[in-house]
């Protein structure tokens, strides 16, 4: 079974830009995926809150909120983008 690790930054900048909403939506998606497939267990999708990121500002402007899915960093993350990345790992199973 594929493992998915989602890391959501919870530094002040990312929180102000909506990372807590992203975290909540991904948690809901996780529960939905688990309820649809008995082969997917709770520890197959790991959601971590991290407190340090590079989400302050880059040369091109603000990049918060920052989320990673299986080590793929997503700048200016939205719930939709992050959930699509998670679902890509399970589209054959769900």
Higher per-residue confidence, 89 vs 59: 89
Looking at domain 4-90, its CATH superfamily turns out to be Glutaredoxin (3.40.30.10)
Encode burial over 8-42: b for 16+ CB neighbours within 10 A, e otherwise.
bbbbebbbebbbeebbebbeebbeebbeeeeebee
pLDDT in tens, 6-23: 999 998 889 999 999 999
**Cα–Cα dist 5/52, whole Å:** 17
* Domain locations in the chain as residue ranges: 4-90
Look-up: residue for tokens 């929180």?
15
Share of the chain above pLDDT 70, in %: 87
And the tokens for 79? 């719930």
């Amino acid at each position: 079974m594929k493992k998915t690790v989602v890391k959501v930054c919870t530094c002040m900048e990312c929180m102000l830009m909506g990372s807590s909403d992203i975290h909540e939506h991904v948690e809901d998606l996780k529960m939905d995926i688990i309820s649809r497939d008995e082969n997917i267990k709770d520890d197959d999708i790991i959601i971590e809150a991290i407190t340090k990121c590079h989400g302050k500002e880059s040369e091109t402007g603000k990049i918060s909120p920052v989320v990673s899915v299986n080590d793929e960093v997503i700048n200016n993350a939205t719930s939709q983008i992050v959930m699509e990345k998670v679902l890509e790992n399970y589209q054959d199973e769900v």
